[in-house]
Structure 1
Amino acid sequence: MKYFLIPIIIILVAMTVVSLVRGIIAFLKSTEQDLNADPAAGASEMQLLQNKMMFNRIKYQGMAVIVVAILLAVSR
């Protein structure tokens, strides 16, 4: 069981890092766009992407924590 859960943890951590980096890139791009955009126009495409990526980061991070908890429970 350990040999099955460890690769899953590695994959989830990698997905967390990718989502974090994509969210930061979207944040940097949205700040450039926001300087020239009308604030009454609502959220821009980059802001929506930033929110989506940060939600994905939280989701993958939570799943990784759950898998680590399962691994600890199985190891005992």
Structure 2
Amino acid sequence: MSTVTPYQHRDSPIIMIVMRDILLILLGIDMIAVVAVLLAGAVGMTRGADPRRQNRLMRWRVGLQAVAVALVVILIVTG
């Protein structure tokens, strides 16, 4: 008798389990990066930073959010 975590199936190959764990770790890192860029932009706006830098931070945030959405979709599809 083996121990099975809630998101695993007994018939799941180990590669799928490892891949899911890696995707979850990447999603967590990406979410932290989104929050960091968002906070950097908010702090910069309150201090009156260069508008070009603010625009660059906004583009980075949007790109990181797109990556997060893509990772969530991959996790749902492979789940």
Normalising by the smaller structure, the TM-score range is 0.7 to 0.9
Q: Which has the larger radius of gyration?
A: 2
Larger RCO (alpha carbons 8 Å, 6+ apart): 1
Report the TM-score, using the length of structure 1 for normalisation.
0.75
Question: After TM superposition, which residue ranges in structure 1, 4 or more long, deviate above 4 angstroms?
Answer: none
Cα offset, 1:57, TM superposition = 0.6
Question: Aligned residue for 2:67?
Answer: 63
C-alpha root-mean-square deviation of aligned residues, in Å? 1.0
1:57 partner amino acid: R
Percentage identity across paired residues of the two chains: 26
Number of residue pairs matched by the alignment:
61
Question: Aligned residue for 1:72?
Answer: 76
Name stretches of at least 5 consecutive residues in structure 2 with no aligned partner: 1-18
The structure carrying a bigger helix percent of its residues is 1
Name stretches of at least 5 consecutive residues in structure 1 with no aligned partner: 31-44
